[in-house]
């Protein structure tokens, strides 16, 4: 029970990495608020929690993480219900705008940044206010990506946003350390999630051939949830400002994930495309053919 008497928020909490982290945090004794914009998957999560866990303190909360007021409401709701806040996992995300830099729509670019980067800023801002006032420290964890560490592992805006998440993690860790608030990020590699399925095939043999990942194991949401648990609990109490890469060694070779993404989009028989990938938010993904 490494999170006994702790209260945690997990954004993007109704699918993939977020969902697995909710299960992990609950099993370790935390009270958890799972936030997501997708009400359908939130309802499914409510049902699963009721089946898997008894006498657990859990709440689902509809939240658009790109809206600062909704993030503030999420934090306020959590504190009102559970009287404290100790852990925040800023995990929600989308694939975002994609395509050649010459064809990316400005609105798609801006929307991607709002979800992938601004949301992390909002989460850190409002969580840290509560944690500072509590005077008991806390742990803030942000989902970055190997795409934010080097070129070739994601679309332009996704990569830029995740690089921003890594840097924001470091700058806020420096500022908030005096309050015993730790801020760290996790950079997943190829993890089998609903978002992965919108971009890459989940065929491990194909991925292995194209990505040259040293470890043969398939990256699973639980691998990230286990890392989030470590960063959330007191076992990591002397760790802050780091970016933990959980990728099976993929970045050792700096192979480009986008090579396979290109293969997958070619299967659409549309030729070159641009658009915005909205992942598992319930909002429609937009794919536009590029005309000469």
Query: How much is the pLDDT for 284?
Result: 87
What does the DSSP assignment read for 153-214? SS-HHHHHHHHHHHHHHHHHHHHHGGGTEEEEEEEE-SB-SHHHHTTS---HHHHHHHH--S
Query: How much is the pLDDT for 80?
Result: 98
Secondary structure class of 255 (helix, strand, coil):
coil
Query: 191: which strand partners?
Result: 219
Query: How much is the pLDDT for 55?
Result: 72
Query: How much is the pLDDT for 34?
Result: 98
Instruction: Count the domains in the chain.
Output: 1
Residue 65 has pLDDT above 60, yes or no: yes
Instruction: Report the distance separating Cα 92 and Cα 83, nearest Å.
Output: 24
Question: Is 291 contained in some domain?
Answer: no
Q: Count other Cβ atoms within 10 Å, centred on residue 180.
A: 15
Question: Is 1 contained in some domain?
Answer: no
Instruction: Report the distance separating Cα 231 and Cα 281, nearest Å.
Output: 26
Range of the domain at 75: 7-286
Task: Report the CATH number that the domain containing residue 167 is assigned in CATH.
Answer: 3.40.50.720
Question: Is 77 contained in some domain?
Answer: yes
Question: Is 96 contained in some domain?
Answer: yes
Q: Which of the four pLDDT bands, split at 50, 70 and 90, describes residue 173? A: very high
Query: How much is the pLDDT for 206?
Result: 47
pTM of the model: 0.88
Closest CA to 169 of 273, 239, 81, 218: 239
179 is catalytic: no
Across 250-265, average pLDDT: 59
Q: For the chain, what is the radius of gyration of the CA atoms?
A: 18
Sequence-distant (≥ 6) Cβ neighbours of residue 228 within 8 angstroms = 21, 24, 25, 89, 91, 141, 186
Q: Which of the four pLDDT bands, split at 50, 70 and 90, describes residue 197? A: low
Across 225-251, average pLDDT: 96
| Candidate from 32-41, 58-67, 115-124, 249-258 with smallest mean pLDDT | 249-258
Among the listed residues 82, 158, 179, 265, the single catalytic one is: 158
Question: Is 257 contained in some domain?
Answer: yes
Tokens 């359908």 identify what position?
40
Instruction: Report the distance separating Cα 130 and Cα 82, nearest Å.
Output: 13
The tokens for 12 are 């993007």
Q: Which of the four pLDDT bands, split at 50, 70 and 90, describes residue 209? A: very low
């Amino acid at each position: 029970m490494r999170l006994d008497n702790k209260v945690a928020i997990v954004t993007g909490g109704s699918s993939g990495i977020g969902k697995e982290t909710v299960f992990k945090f609950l099993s370790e004794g935390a009270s958890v608020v799972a936030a997501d914009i997708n009400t359908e998957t939130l309802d499914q999560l409510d049902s699963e929690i009721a089946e898997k866990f008894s006498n657990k303190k859990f709440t689902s909360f509809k939240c658009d993480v790109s809206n600062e007021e909704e993030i503030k409401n999420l934090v306020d709701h959590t504190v009102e219900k559970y009287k404290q806040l100790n852990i925040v996992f800023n995990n929600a995300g989308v694939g975002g705008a994609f395509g050649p830099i010459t064809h990316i729509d400005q609105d798609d670019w801006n929307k991607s940044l709002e979800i992938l980067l601004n949301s992390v800023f909002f989460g850190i801002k409002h969580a840290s206010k509560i944690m500072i006032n509590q005077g008991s420290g806390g742990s803030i964890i942000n989902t970055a990506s190997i795409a934010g560490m080097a070129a070739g592992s994601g679309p332009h805006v996704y990569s830029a946003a995740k690089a921003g998440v890594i840097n924001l993690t470091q700058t806020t860790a420096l500022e908030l350390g005096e309050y015993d608030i730790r801020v760290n990020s996790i950079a997943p590699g190829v993890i089998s999630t609903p978002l992965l399925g919108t971009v890459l095939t989940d065929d491990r043999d194909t991925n292995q051939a194209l990505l040259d990942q040293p470890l043969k194991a398939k990256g699973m949401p639980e691998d990230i949830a286990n890392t989030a648990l470590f960063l959330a609990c007191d076992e990591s109490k002397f760790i802050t400002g780091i970016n933990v890469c959980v990728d099976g060694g993929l970045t050792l070779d700096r192979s480009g994930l986008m090579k396979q993404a290109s293969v997958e989009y070619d299967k659409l028989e549309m030729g070159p495309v641009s658009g915005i990938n909205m992942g598992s938010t319930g909002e429609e993904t937009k794919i536009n053919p590029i005309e000469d």
